[in-house]
Structure 1
Amino acid sequence: MEAKAASLSRTTMSDIIFPSDTNYHGTMFGGVVMRYIDKIATIASMRHSRRGVVTASSDSLDFLAPVRVGEAILLEAFVSWTHRSSMEVYVKVESENLFTGERKTTATSFLTFVALDDEGKPTPVPAVIPETEEERKLYASAQERYQARKKRKEERAAESSKQA
């Protein structure tokens, strides 16, 4: 299977934030941000694998600043690393004041997706070729995040079996 450039999975989305998207502080609900993140990461992983995918884990989500009513939310995602059938997807969320043009990073997230074959079983995915400095940095640190995910999953499985 031929490796693919990370840029081929790069996906962007934008939307304007209305009062119905916000909490009583006038800032965007975290759960709505999470829905956007999962949606854009799904698209990026499908672009990379050209397969149906499922979310295997939401590895991290760091909220850095609020998105306010009337601002635009801007999301960018790409596959940063792959294993056999899994793909790590990096998502960056920004807000933009549409009157001043000021942008700020509001959240970052890593998610893991698994590609599925026609029978719904995990199927191999192409490796990633990082090209930009950002892609190379994330690719270089991906193995460490993979090991942390694996350890966390093993610990949760052990806890689950103790409770059974």
Structure 2
Amino acid sequence: METVDFKTPSQSLVIMNELVLPNDTNYFGNLMGGRLMYWMDVASGIASGKHTNLPGMTVSVDNLSFKYPIKLGNNVHLEAKATRAFNTSLEIHIKVWGEDLLQQTKYLSNEAYFTFVALDEHRRPKKIPAIQPETDEEIEQYNGALRRRQLRLLQAGKLNIEDAKELLELFKTK
């Protein structure tokens, strides 16, 4: 079987929709954050699998922003795709919209970055294809992914500040 050196972000695109039912809501009739995070993990996990053709494990979630609540009866529209692949891990960006189908409105509710590690049949990390961004937005996300990765590694104590060169560039004064 021929190996693929790279894939495009669009090859990992996952679009998922869920209906907010009573069991998904809190006291205020809003979608519970934990339920949304579950759906986000599912969508981003599928995107990871589409890129790697391997099972993966969630390693981290960052920048999860709750902008607007999603109400009972609304549709939850999730879009996830890979932004950048590293040796055995990859970053997935996911956006979530709420849709009130009766009022015909759609609004950005949440977004986040999930990191997955691809695993072989022995559950060990395995090398994955690189990502070749195509659009301006994909290039911007690809470039930013290295800085986000360095920040995650710094926070986890797995990287020294002097080795976070791309991240440090943001703070240099001219």
Report the TM-score when normalising by structure 2.
Answer: 0.86
Q: What does residue 33 of structure 2 align with? A: 30
Q: What does residue 106 of structure 1 align with? A: 109
TM superposition shift of 1:135: 1.4
TM superposition shift of 1:111: 0.7
Q: What does residue 135 of structure 2 align with? A: 132
1:63 pairs, out of 60, 63, 66, with 66
3-state DSSP of counterpart to 1:46: helix
TM superposition shift of 1:153: 1.0
Q: Does 1:118 align with 2:121?
A: yes
Q: Does 1:51 align with 2:54?
A: yes
TM superposition shift of 1:134: 2.2
TM superposition shift of 1:18: 1.3
Q: What does residue 16 of structure 2 align with? A: 13
3-state DSSP of counterpart to 1:154: coil
Deviation track 1:63-109 (CA, whole Å, cap 9, x = no partner) reads 11000011100000001011100000000000001012211000001
Q: Structure 2, unaligned stretches of length 5 or more? A: 159-174
Q: What does residue 149 of structure 1 align with? A: 152
CA RMSD for the aligned pairs?
1.3
Q: What does residue 75 of structure 2 align with? A: 72
1:95 pairs, out of 91, 98, 105, with 98
- Structure 2 distance, partners of 1:74, 1:132, is 22
Q: What is the total number of aligned residue pairs between the two structures?
A: 156
Moved over 3 A (4+): none
- Structure 1 distance, partners of 2:67, 2:135, is 24
- Structure 2 distance, partners of 1:123, 1:75, is 27
- Structure 1 distance, partners of 2:113, 2:63, is 5
Deviation track 1:41-79 (CA, whole Å, cap 9, x = no partner) reads 100000000001001111221111000011100000001
Report the TM-score when normalising by structure 1.
Answer: 0.91
Q: Structure 1, unaligned stretches of length 5 or more? A: 156-164
- Structure 1 distance, partners of 2:74, 2:51, is 30
User: Which letter does structure 2 place at the counterpart of 1:144?
Assistant: R
Q: What does residue 169 of structure 2 align with? A: none
- Structure 2 distance, partners of 1:61, 1:134, is 19
Compare relative contact order (CA 8 Å, sep 6+) and give the higher one, 1 or 2: 1
